[in-house]
Chain A
Amino acid sequence: MAIQNGDSDGALLSKPSDQEYPSLNRIPANYNPLTNYNLPKNRHYTQQYADMYFARLAQLKPAVEQVAAEAWQDFEIAGERARRVDRVLDVRQGELCWVIGTCYMEMPLKPNVLDDIGKEHWIAAPPARQKYTEGGEGDQVMLEDESGRLRLTGGALRSVLLVTGAIVAVIGTENKDGDFEVLDVRVADLPRQPPRWERDDGDTAVRGKSVSKPRPSGGKVAIVSGLSFSGDVGDTLPLELLSEWLLGESAGPDDQQDTSTISRLIIAGNSIAHGCPIPSREEVAAAALKSRGQKKYGYDSASYNAAPTARFDTWLANLLPSIPITLLPGESDPTATSLPQQAIHAAMFPHSRAYMQPPAVDHSSTEQERSWFTSTTNPTEFDLQGWRFLTIGGQTLNDVYKYLSTNDRLEMMEAMLRWRLTAPTAPDTLTCYPFQDGDAFVLKECPHVYVAGCQPKFETGVIEGPQGQMVRLLAVPSFRETGEVVVVDLESLGVEVVKFEVWEGG
């Protein structure tokens, strides 16, 4: 049975040797979280969502205006100069002009609260939609601001991605039907990108220490999503393999050495398969079937299963002695469902909690100590080894996906960055907190790495902004479905994928 395959891999398929294995130490990386998406402690939900749209428009208007003015200042057709119009309703028929507003997509398949109520009375609810659009049939694009709405038409619309909530500038004329014939569209584009280490340098400078010290390499970061701990046994083997690999116990000495350069693990959503406190319409229906027609809404404590959370906690607690972890909630995790999802509560982690920041912040503890195991919001932003990471649990991207006829997820991620919106379709088709003074989903600084969790497959790409901003886009697939973990080098931002598989049967 001796299977030898070269020298290196034979080492572990041989008699026990006296060889001393060196103790490996994991490389540290500088982790500096931001709290942009933390909601206030006392939250009110009585505000109107309209305020959010107004705030968003107000926040993004200057940026869009600048881009549009630059692009269209000499825009001329048949000797007619394009004129800037302040409000949507001020557009005059036949006059070449440009105007800024919020996109609104009217789509026949888009969920509608009135339909929702109607659905309750139907015998069979229609299936959940993959897409809201039917290849553009029947869709209407509108431009909206405080004053009113304008219906947009024209071939130019087909070449751009637009979803509800995006702030755009359009140029064109109003035709005799009262529709606005669009010739071109402009968006805010990428915001300013902070140079690497900006915040950390700022912090050290504030503390009065010298900034210019050489920084050691931060190694790599592993990003995983969709661990989907469930109550069932029998499918967790890849999770065990992942854990052993991260701990540096499995594989050969070279691989272990390599693994020790992974300085942090990011879990981007859906760690627990059915942890969502609000059951989906389908789950309610299934439960009703089971209990013979008794519909029970909301949380059913009788059906609560603690096993997935307990298992997840143990899994984390096994990793934490060796590797720091950042945990984002996702759609199916036990926390609030509306965006920005707040951190999964520490009470869920009786064992791993020991590695968390204590409830009362101890100011004597160092940055490193405070951020060993961080349960954060979704979306979340943090600086890792100086790079700004923007990470989402996937819902925002999945919802944008439904609006568009394209299937290219990276393109959508890029568009979201260029719109400067992390959750453009909230509050239209995504639930979110009714922000009052300013939309928190407006991106103020451009990240270096934009990670979307819970995607169907792994994809990556780099986009460039007008001021030379470079953003690495990463679509991280669900581990449960693909067994894939994305590893990003924190110096080059290069990407590799590690895939965990179990050879089943033949």
Chain B
Amino acid sequence: MAQEYTEYLAVHVLNEQQLVSYRTLSRALKVHCNLAKQMLYDFHHKQNTKKPGTVHATYLLTGIRRVTTSSQTNGIHSQDDEDIPMQSSGPLPSSSAAEPHDSIPESSIIRSILLVREEHLAQAKSTFDSISSIHIYSLECNGLSDIHTLTECNRQIDVNYASEDPLQAWKQYGTIQNPNVKRRVGKGTAPPPPAAPIEKNPQAKIAPSATTAKAKEAEMKAEVKPAAAVPTEKKGSTTTSFPKPVQAKRQNSDIFKSFSKAKPPAAASPVPADPDPKGEDDLMTGFSDDEGLDDDELEKEVGEAAKTLQPAGKSKKEREAELQAMMEQEDEEDEAMEDVTAATPDAAPAADVDAPAKAEEAEEPKETVTIENGRRRGKRRIMKKKTVKDEDGYLVTREEAAWESFSEEEPQPKKIKTAAPSQKASTGAKKGGAKAGGGNIMSFFSKK
């Protein structure tokens, strides 16, 4: 025991020069925080007898402090007495029983909890009338330039012990227990608090470097999406087994659950496959980072997207042709789109970039689909659009096959997709048009 904490403190305080608070220590050694306070004291005492000044401490004092602060409002009794007559003339002389012993300031106890550096300890103690407890709050190697850096200790705890279930683990630290606490578990709830720190995820750390060009698109979910992109990529090239993507999936769902409790299925599906509940909106994945949209909202959006791309709608072929001639880029994409949808219905040009064609040549795993309790899971091939800048500085858009895992509730990827997007889009557009133009202006003002 003694060795354990001496060693821990020697390593962290002396060698690594970290701040160690009693909470850090209690969590690290899984001991009661009061014991940790004693350990800190013991270490501090021993080290400083060996060699004074090696370890610096901060103390936490509790007690009744002499009234010096401006916030003290009601310590002065002589004035209170004078105040009473004033108040009798006061607020509302009206009320039938306007006995004006109203709002007599009364003295109440002010307890102080004061954090102080060891060099100011004596001075601080002298401001107390009585001290109910005093203990070492933290130890640090060299003096503390800014005492506020101590917040770092608790932040570290939040980060490092995020996986602990507070309802169980905290008992050993001496946290006041509450038998009545009720925490919701199940869908829509975040994982056991607090803050599962995303940046701690090693995959996420690697990911940004792997995914280069599409970083911009993924910016919003930078910490999340790449983490998912990596496994898919790997799978494409090396056919690693499932566990990894599954893990990634869980992480994703954790994060997205916290955003969209309204739509657990969407949240539960892995991010790269996120458009699968809304397969038809391939076109606009570039600017869709909407996770929790309703279906009709999506439809509307698809409609709008289609409108922007094919302003005249499907019926007006000439215009479309004209448009195609004019905007080669757009056109290309359109065609590509059809290809994509033809090949794999639920295409999602969402994720990875570096899964090149050779990856797909190297190994061609079969599309696998497993159905378990109503949900389809598996891997499938999708076409991904990739825009890169070539040596001459032109933007080149290429189609690449990639593998992604998916899980969805729909019975089967329908074959509608080649026709569906445009059809749906046109209807959507019409709907949208009617809504925008056809309404009576009075309906805007009428009560809803």
- A residues adjacent to B (C-beta < 8 A): 1-3, 5-6, 8-9, 12-17, 21, 23-26, 28, 42, 44, 46, 67, 70-71, 159-161, 184-187, 189-190, 233-237, 240-241, 243-245, 247-256, 259-260, 310, 313-314, 317-318, 320-324, 347, 350-356, 358-359, 365, 368-369, 372, 408, 410-411, 414-415, 418, 457-466, 473, 477, 482, 484, 494-504, 506
Contacts and interface: CB of A to CB of B under 8 A. Distances in A.
17 contacts: A2-B45, A16-B5, A17-B35, A28-B178, A186-B94, A187-B94, A189-B92, A240-B154, A251-B62, A411-B102, A460-B74, A477-B71, A495-B108, A499-B112, A502-B116, A503-B115, A503-B116
B85 interface: no
Given A5-B131, A12-B41, A482-B71, A461 B104 contact: yes
A24 B190 contact: no
The 10 A-B pairs of least Cβ separation, nearest first, read A252-B133, A461-B103, A350-B258, A317-B193, A248-B176, A12-B135, A369-B182, A321-B166, A503-B116, A351-B193
Given A234-B149, A255-B133, A462-B103, 4 more contacts: A13-B134, A249-B22, A466-B95, A501-B113
B41 A260 contact: no
B34 A253 contact: yes
A24 B113 contact: no
Contacts of B104: 461-462
Interface of B (DSSP majority class): mixed
B102 A46 contact: no
A421 to B, nearest CB: 13
Contact of B135 (A13, A350, A460): A13
B414 interface: no
A2 B41 CA distance: 9
B91 interface: yes
Contacts of B181: 320-322, 324, 355, 372
B133 A12 contact: yes
B150 interface: yes
Contact of B174 (A67, A240, A256): A256
A466 B97 contact: yes
Interface residues of B, number: 104
A254 B105 CA distance: 29
Nearest to B176: A248
Contacts of A233: 148, 151
A502 B38 contact: no
Given A5-B125, A187-B95, A501-B114, A353 B35 contact: no
A369 B219 CA distance: 39
Nearest to A505: B120
A185 B192 CA distance: 58
B3 interface: no
Given A24-B177, A237-B150, A458-B71, A499 B132 contact: no
A235 B150 CA distance: 10
A463 B103 contact: yes
B209 interface: no
Nearest to A475: B73
Interface in B12-29: 22-23, 26
Interface in B97-129: 97, 99, 101-106, 108-118, 120-122, 124-125
B39 interface: yes
A504 B147 contact: yes
A3 to B, nearest CB: 7
Given A415-B92, A503-B120, A322 B177 contact: yes
A108 B195 CA distance: 51
Given A314-B158, A355-B182, A372-B181, A251 B113 contact: yes
A322 B193 contact: no
A67 B113 CA distance: 48
B182 A12 contact: no
A160 B170 contact: no
Given A411-B91, A501-B113, A70 B151 contact: no
A314 B182 contact: no
Nearest to A44: B447
Interface string B159-193: 00000001100110111111111111100111011
Nearest to A481: B71
A499 B69 contact: yes
B362 interface: no
B344 interface: no
A241 B91 CA distance: 39
A247 B38 contact: no
Contacts of B57: 1
A1 B119 CA distance: 11
A310 to B, nearest CB: 8
A184 to B, nearest CB: 7
Nearest to A416: B91
A143 to B, nearest CB: 15
B48 interface: yes
A414 B91 contact: yes
A16 to B, nearest CB: 4
B170 to A, nearest CB: 6
Given A365-B182, A411-B87, A461-B106, A8 B93 contact: no
Contacts of B23: 244, 249
Contacts of B188: 358
B170 A21 contact: no
Nearest to B48: A1
B108 A354 contact: no
Nearest to A13: B41
